[in-house]
A and B are shown apart, each in its own frame.
Chain A
């Protein structure tokens, strides 16, 4: 069933929340009037209620789909003992970009490997612009066919070839149109890092180390690791460059373009300090820009170094999205890059000034079409792979950005949400993430186990792949490649 052109996709295994009380959108209150007749247990399609030793209890509030339920228990209850209400905790989570609906639906995908069919909006957020105002448009007659895996797109090929230069470097094909974005050892725990890399390995794709060294624990997954060379050069050695198939130059990060990186002193634990060859407890700055790169020629020199040390490696260049992003992209191509990675301004970070996250550089939805058009006009579009990141949260966002001109995307935040991030924005303070994801605190990081984490991420991406195939099927496409730059598959609600 999971066979797809020789590559075997990993199996989905149900992987519930780590916490005792999973959070959902609704709660059902059962009053003392309950006569334990079992009616609700019988009619609920979602397993919300259970009969335990002759008593009926609400076991899984979080699975309740509320008003969308075809068989509402609170209406069917003969003694009206059930009351449906919104869960107050739901509303305190998330934000405009990741509203609670998106967070909880991502959790649902990470648990079941399937997008929620009712009760939650899992396709768009509430930011009121960009992705959230774009819609995929399906021509007349392409009626939705959700019947299991039999629909037209069920076998659609999601793979993307990364080396389009046709040079001597590795001919790499990723089986899914995304890979894992750089999150450094230090900004996230080793368990989080390993979970992501292990999931990437299972999915036939890659995951980037970020700028914080290449821990030995990652060795078994070398074939699926991208190592990052950023301005601080933390943990970069010849040996780490030679270990991988893809090397990523990070010029800038979408969340804080032009500002370099910053790891607060609290997170520089002995392990992190050793990895980065730094001093425990002191903040680490990754300066901006590369102090040896002031022109495309300087940049080419860097690319050439990498090619000298590891001639088979693909070179990816990660840049932010200034007004002249198209010039930067074409410059990177002429310097020899295989991948131009555009990181839009609403991308993730472990810590960044709020002013930078909001204001500097443009959102990815503008940058990708601009770069796609310019590379096409230059006649080099088919020689370089365009990877987009920065605020891509859902399978629908993936389809939209590919239709705007990207070949593949790079994902970071969604992985963390799969590991039960609630977007509290406190990744950087004190001991780090209280939920054990973005922390190096030994006690907190043990909250995430490797197997649980990897499976949650695999499940989420399995759900994404199903959604992408369903979308491709409805568009009458056999491969994700057909979608690249197909602007006519999208509409924008403000200009239609």
Chain B
């Protein structure tokens, strides 16, 4: 059994005040300056922590407030009210919601799993990954206390392909091509969001994080010079349109036409693994099949940042991954290729869900920026100054924040696997029978209910 994989996290404070959901609005007019001001009695000592004189009343959007509404309900003149912060509500977009962004901040800051009281507050289901639930095992299961440490759950996965069967020579020894695999201790790889300008300090921090986590950072060939030399084995240069391959790396990514044989690139770069990048467009399952048959053993399928097909926003990557996986299984060559998916990996649950749909591993990209307090405001695209001064973030802090985020995600992956009773991440790949899909479940449960006939009333 391999040594237990642990991600060492430690708190990495925010550099800027985070934007939080709601704040206190207070109006000075009418204040009685009463001796038992509710602000003094705040259970969470929010007013005190802000260093304000409780008798001074000002408008404020407050990020320490825990939303208990005690002051709102206790103020003798009903002068204190609360509201949703408009800045919070405006963050991100429909996919990268304010809730997702602020949870990434929390995890990058603390390295902890988000835990809260009361039941799930969100919608019943949603598009893409939100339309599936993972299974659990009630009584009989192989893993005991995997989460709290007594028994080992492995999250390691292999990059590369294996033959369908071993070949033996006349001497009884294994013959045929040597099986070469790269293994990483968790099914998560880091990736520079290529659409954005990333400053060298951040590349450097991310590279250190990749090394500490034992995974890879896919990074532009130009940007990779910013990474420390010692991190080179953990880099995966993206060589779009280039042939020259940097020294000291184990795997490179490029776009090829699938017809071109992987081996033609490999000659001259013998020891290196090649990862082929394909866009997640309609018909992706055929293109992956063709590429796998052409000898590519690692294929990266890139979906949109919102987890949909690049050519059809109506189709989600969840369905794309399932189609690719099933196509390979039916062709009998699933194990000859590793499928890594990217785009829209925004929450810890997207990792196990991608695996259950049939991916071997995922790339995390935009979330790496959000871990550094990015608000996805898009100002950098317009050459406007960054509100969180990304270019000044110290590399050690960058590394720590990313390790914290991935550490928290790794722990959450263990929670999901523990509940499923699966103790090897490689076994989770394509286990769609251990998940419940909204489309099937909802229809089969509810389509044969009563009918609303003429004159009926509903309530």
B and A form one assembly: yes
- Which residues of A are at the interface with B, using a C-beta cutoff of 8 A? 17, 19-23, 87-89, 91-93, 95-98, 123, 127-130, 132-144, 251-252, 255, 257-259, 262, 285, 287-291, 293-296, 298-299, 319-320, 322-325, 328, 345-363, 365-366, 369-370, 390-391, 396, 413, 421-431, 433-435, 438, 444, 471, 474, 487-492, 494-496
Between-chain CB contacts (< 8 Å), 10 pairs: A88-B25, A127-B123, A129-B124, A141-B455, A323-B436, A353-B113, A369-B445, A424-B67, A426-B68, A491-B451
Complex Cα distance, B122 from A488, in Å, reads 29
Cβ–Cβ < 8 Å partners of B66 in chain A: 424, 426, 429, 434
Asked whether A128 and B123 contact (CB < 8 A) given A424-B66, A495-B446, the answer is yes
- Flag the segment in B129-137, B164-172, B195-203, B218-226 that touches A: B129-137
Cβ–Cβ < 8 Å partners of B420 in chain A: 258
Q: Are A362 and B458 in contact, CB atoms less than 8 angstroms apart?
A: no
Q: Are B119 and A413 in contact, CB atoms less than 8 angstroms apart?
A: yes
Q: Are B133 and A251 in contact, CB atoms less than 8 angstroms apart?
A: no
Cβ–Cβ < 8 Å partners of A431 in chain B: 43
Q: Are B122 and A95 in contact, CB atoms less than 8 angstroms apart?
A: yes
Q: Are A136 and B123 in contact, CB atoms less than 8 angstroms apart?
A: no
Residue in A93, A130, A421 whose beta carbon sits within 8 Å of that of B124 in the complex: A130
Complex Cα distance, B322 from A254, in Å, reads 27
Q: Are A351 and B124 in contact, CB atoms less than 8 angstroms apart?
A: no
Kindly provide the distance from the CB of B135 to the nearest chain A CB, expressed in whole angstroms: 5
Complex Cα distance, B118 from A346, in Å, reads 10
Complex Cα distance, B69 from A427, in Å, reads 14
B457's nearest neighbour on chain A, judged by CB, is A138
Complex Cα distance, B167 from A432, in Å, reads 63
Complex Cα distance, B436 from A345, in Å, reads 12
Residue in A89, A350, A354, A361 whose beta carbon sits within 8 Å of that of B69 in the complex: A89
Q: Are A98 and B121 in contact, CB atoms less than 8 angstroms apart?
A: yes
Complex Cα distance, B419 from A352, in Å, reads 13
Q: Are A319 and B138 in contact, CB atoms less than 8 angstroms apart?
A: yes
Count of A-B residue pairs with CB < 8 Å: 290
Kindly provide the distance from the CB of B145 to the nearest chain A CB, expressed in whole angstroms: 6
Complex Cα distance, B133 from A323, in Å, reads 10
B241 within 8 A of A: no
Please give the number of chain B residues whose Cβ is less than 8 angstroms from any Cβ of chain A in the complex. Answer: 80
A439's nearest neighbour on chain B, judged by CB, is B43
Q: Are A89 and B72 in contact, CB atoms less than 8 angstroms apart?
A: yes
B144 within 8 A of A: yes
Q: Are A359 and B418 in contact, CB atoms less than 8 angstroms apart?
A: no
Central interface residue in B144, B347, B420, B450, by most chain A CB within 10 Å? B450
Cβ–Cβ < 8 Å partners of B124 in chain A: 96, 127-130, 132-133, 346, 363
Kindly provide the distance from the CB of A292 to the nearest chain B CB, expressed in whole angstroms: 11
Asked whether A19 and B450 contact (CB < 8 A) given A328-B138, A423-B121, the answer is no
Q: Interface readout for B280-316 with A: 1 if CB under 8 Å, 0 if not?
A: 0000000000000000000000000000000000000
Asked whether A426 and B116 contact (CB < 8 A) given A294-B139, A360-B136, A487-B450, the answer is yes
B126's nearest neighbour on chain A, judged by CB, is A128
Q: Are A140 and B418 in contact, CB atoms less than 8 angstroms apart?
A: no
B217 within 8 A of A: no
Q: Are A21 and B72 in contact, CB atoms less than 8 angstroms apart?
A: yes
Known: A355-B349, A366-B441, A423-B121; 13 extra A-B contacts, CB below 8 A, are: A21-B75, A96-B124, A140-B454, A140-B455, A252-B138, A355-B412, A369-B445, A413-B119, A423-B118, A429-B117, A491-B451, A491-B452, A492-B446
Complex Cα distance, B388 from A167, in Å, reads 69
Tell me the dominant secondary structure on chain B's binding face.
loop
Cβ–Cβ < 8 Å partners of B449 in chain A: 134, 487-488, 490-492, 495-496
Residue in A22, A259, A423 whose beta carbon sits within 8 Å of that of B418 in the complex: A259
Kindly provide the distance from the CB of A467 to the nearest chain B CB, expressed in whole angstroms: 10
B103 within 8 A of A: yes
Tell me the B93-118 residues at the A interface (CB within 8 Å).
103, 113-118
Kindly provide the distance from the CB of A408 to the nearest chain B CB, expressed in whole angstroms: 20
- Which residues of B are at the interface with A, using a C-beta cutoff of 8 A? 22, 25, 43-44, 66-70, 72-76, 78, 81-84, 103, 113-125, 132-141, 144-145, 147-148, 347-349, 353, 412, 415-416, 418-421, 433-434, 436, 438, 441-443, 445-459
Cβ–Cβ < 8 Å partners of A88 in chain B: 25, 81-83
Residue in B83, B438, B457 whose beta carbon sits within 8 Å of that of A137 in the complex: B457
Central interface residue in B114, B353, B443, B445, by most chain A CB within 10 Å? B445
Q: Are B119 and A347 in contact, CB atoms less than 8 angstroms apart?
A: yes
Complex Cα distance, B148 from A365, in Å, reads 31
Q: Are B73 and A354 in contact, CB atoms less than 8 angstroms apart?
A: no
Complex Cα distance, B457 from A255, in Å, reads 34
Complex Cα distance, B124 from A97, in Å, reads 8
Residue in B67, B141, B456, B457 whose beta carbon sits within 8 Å of that of A92 in the complex: B67
Q: Are B447 and A491 in contact, CB atoms less than 8 angstroms apart?
A: no
Cβ–Cβ < 8 Å partners of B412 in chain A: 353, 355
